Structure 1
Amino acid sequence: MLEVRDLHALYGKSHILQGVDLAVDEGEIVSLLGRNGVGRSTACKAIMGLVPPVGQIRFKGRSIAGLRPDQIAHAGIGYVPEDRQVFPSLTVKQNLELGLKRAGVFGRWKFDDVFALFPNLGERRDNPAGVLSGGEQQMLTMCRTLMGDPDLVIIDEPTEGLAPRLVEQVGRLLDEIARRGTAILLVEQKLTIALKISHRLYVMGHGRIVFSGSPAELTANTAIRKEWLEV
C-alpha cells in the first residue's frame, strides 16, 4: 500500500533523513521506533508533503512525492500530528465534522463509533474542544482524522503524556482501526505498546532504518534495543 524508497529530507543544511526505506501493507500496524531526534516525525511529514521529500513515495501504486498535503489526504492518507491540533472554540462534534471529506458523507467511522470507543467525548459532544483535557484533545484529534475514512493513517506519538487509562484506550482504538481495514504507520516511544500491537516494526537511528522485523525478532535482538532504543 505505502512504499517509501531512499527517502531524504533536509531542514536547511541539516540532512535529517538519509535514505529511509519502509513499507506498510493493507490492514497492517507498522511501528516506527527510535530515540527522539532520529527523524521519525520528519519521515511522517515528508510522506504527507509537509516537508519537501527527495526519493520515492508510492501509495496504492501511485507516486505521491511532491504532492500537496491536501492532495495526499484526498488520496487516502490520514495524519495525526504529535501536537494536539483541535479548534478550541468549536464543539467536539463540530471538530469531528471537520474531518469529513464531504459534509454529511460518512465512511467506516460515524459519530456513534467514536463515542462508543471514547465515552468521554460523547458526554462532551456539545462542549467546546478547548475545555477538554490534553488526553481528550489527543483522542479528538485522532478521531477527527478517522472521520475522513483514510485507507492509511499516520499517527505520531499518540500516547505521549497520557495517563495509563487513556493509553489503554489508544491501544484499543488502534486495534479497532486495523480491524476495520485501515492500515497504520505508528510513531511510538513506548516499546511495550509497539511490541504488543504491531505486525512489523522499524527502528530508526541517525536518519536511517537500522532494523526491520517482527515484534518477536526485535524482542530477541538485545543489541539493537540496547544501541538504538534503551536509555
Structure 2
Amino acid sequence: MLEVRGLNAWYGKSHILHGVDLDVRDGEIVSLLGRNGVGRSTTVKAIMGQVRSRGTVRFCGNDIAGLKPFEIARRGLGYVPEDRAIFAELTVRENLVLGMKGTRAGTSFTEEDAFDLFPRLEERADTAAGVLSGGEQQMLTLCRTLMGEPRLVMIDEPTEGLAPKIVELVAGFLDAVRKRGIPILLVEQKLDIALDISERVYVLGHGKVVFEGSPADLRANEAVRREWLEV
C-alpha cells in the first residue's frame, strides 16, 4: 500500500535521510524505531510532503512524491503529527467535524465512534480544544484523523509525554484502527508498545534503515538493540 524507495530529505543544507526504503502493507502496523534525532519524524514528514525530499513514494499504486500535503491527504494518507496540531479555539466536536471529508453523512468512522473509543472526549465535546490536557488532545487528533476516512495512517510519537493510563488508551486505539483494516506507520519511542502491536519494525540509524524484521527478530537481536536503540 505504501512503498518508499531511496528517500532522502533535507532541512536547509542538513541532509537528514540517506536512502530510506520501507513498505507498509494492507492491515499491518509497522513501527519505525530509533533514538531521537535519527530521522524517524523526518521520514513521515517527507512522505507527507512537508520537507524537501528526493526519492520514490508510492501510495496505493500512485506516485505521490512532489505533491503538496493537502493533495496527499486527499488521496487517503492520514497523518497525526507529533505536535497534535489541534485547533485550540474550536471545540472538540468542531475539531472532529473539520476532520471529515466534505460534509457527507455515513462516514466509516463517526463522532460516535470517537466517543466510544475515548469517553472523555464526549464529556468534553463542547469544550475548547486548547484547554484539554495533553492526553485529551492526543485522543482528539487521533480521532480527527480517522474522521477523514484514511486508507493508511502515519502516527508520530502518540504516547510521548503521556501518563501510563493514557498510554494504555492510545495503545487500545491503535489496535482498534488495525481491526478496522487500516494500516499504520507508527513512529514510537516506547519499544515495548511497538513490539507488542507491530507486524514488522524498521530501525533507523544516522538517517538509514539499519534493521528490518519482525518484533521477534528484533527481540532476538541484542546487538541491534544495544547499538541503535538502548540508551
TM-score range, shorter chain: over 0.9
Aligned to 2:146: 146
Aligned to 2:7: 7
Instruction: Tell me the C-alpha RMSD between the 2 structures.
Output: 0.8
Aligned partner of residue 52 in structure 2, secondary structure? coil
Distance 1:88 1:55 in 2: 35
Residue 57 (structure 2) pairs with residue 47 (structure 1) = no
Q: Distance in 2 between matches of 1:126 and 1:54?
A: 43
Instruction: Name the SS of the counterpart of 1:193 in structure 2.
Output: helix
In the alignment, the residues of structure 2 paired with residue 41 and residue 224 of structure 1 have an alpha-carbon distance, to the nearest angstrom, of: 20
TM-score by length of 1: 0.98
CA deviations 1:98-133 (Å, max 9, x no partner) are 001111444321011110110100111111111210
Task: Give the whole-Å Cα distance in 1 for the aligned partners of 2:66 and 2:105.
Answer: 28
Q: Which amino acid in structure 1 is aligned with residue 164 of structure 2?
A: P
Between 1:198-207 and 1:83-92, the stretch displaced more is: 83-92
Q: How does 1:1-231 map to 2 (within 5 A)?
A: 1-231=1-231
* 8 Å Cα contact 1:88/1:131 also seen in 2: yes
Residue 141 of structure 1 aligns to which amino acid in structure 2?
T
Change (3 A) 1:52 1:105: farther
**What is the CA–CA distance in structure 2 between the aligned matches of 1:74 and 1:14, rounded to whole Å?**
30
C-alpha contact (below 8 Å) 1:108/1:180 kept by paired residues: no
After TM superposition, the structure 1 stretch with the greater mean CA deviation from structure 2, 215-224 or 106-115, is 106-115
Contact 2:11–2:52 (CA<8 Å) still a contact in 1? no
SS in 2 for 1:97: helix
TM-score, L = length of structure 2: 0.98
Displacement after TM superposition at 1:52 (Å): 2.1
For structure 1, the 5+ residue unaligned runs are none
Contact 1:106 1:147 in 2 (8 A): no
CA deviation after TM superposition for structure 1 residue 53, in Å: 1.9
Q: State the AA in 1 paired with 2:110.
A: K
Structure 1 stretches of 4+ moved >3 Å? none
Structure 1 distance, partners of 2:193, 2:123, is 27
Structure 2 Cα separation of the partners of residues 146 and 156 of structure 1: 15
Identity %: 66
Structure 2 stretches lacking a partner, 5+ long: none
Cα distance in 2 between the residues matched to 1:75 and 1:27: 18
Q: Distance in 1 between matches of 2:52 and 2:65?
A: 8
